[in-house]
Amino acid sequence: MFPNKYTVYLHDTDNKSLFAQRYRVYSSGCMRLEQPFELLEVLKPRLKPYDVKNIDTYRNSLTTRTLNFTEKLPIYTTYFTVFKRDGLISFRKDIYGYDRFIQESVFGSNQ
């Protein structure tokens, strides 16, 4: 878990097929990781020695583990409904309704 007031976790999933879905709103608030052990390799230098020593055990286990880091790691989440991909503008459905807040902050409310 990373420190946050909502108890949001980053975790692996046994339902990898969800990553192939166009809309990925199948979570109860946590963030599923498509490649958790690849992320773990990047973060390995910041893990406490006990966890570094046991990475292979964790990889081959079905048991949930909480990993301990030597320092707090900042995690930033972003939400985009419009972005550039392959030189083209790509649009996505605003599933959380955040675009309205941005529009009102830029252009004002139309009340």
Model confidence pLDDT, tens digit, residues 28-67 = 778 888 998 899 889 889 888 888 788 888 888 888 888 8
Query: In degrees rounded to 5, what are phi and psi of residue 83?
Result: -160, 165
From residue 24, alpha-carbon distances to 15, 18, 74, 85, 86 in Å are 12, 7, 23, 18, 21
Q: Report the run of H or E that residue 103 belongs to, with start and end.
A: helix 98-107
Residue 88 confidence (pLDDT) above 90: yes
From residue 85, alpha-carbon distances to 22, 25, 90, 91 in Å are 15, 21, 6, 10
Structure tokens at 100: 């309205």
For the chain, percent of residues with pLDDT exceeding 70: 98
At residue 86 the predicted structure's pLDDT band, cuts being 50, 70 and 90, is very high
Q: What is the mean pLDDT of the chain?
A: 85
Q: Is 16 exposed, middle or buried (0-12, 13-18, 19+ CB in 10 A)?
A: exposed
Separation of CA 110 from chain center: 34
At residue 1 the predicted structure's pLDDT band, cuts being 50, 70 and 90, is low
Which pLDDT tens digit goes with each residue over 66-84? 888 888 888 888 889 999 9
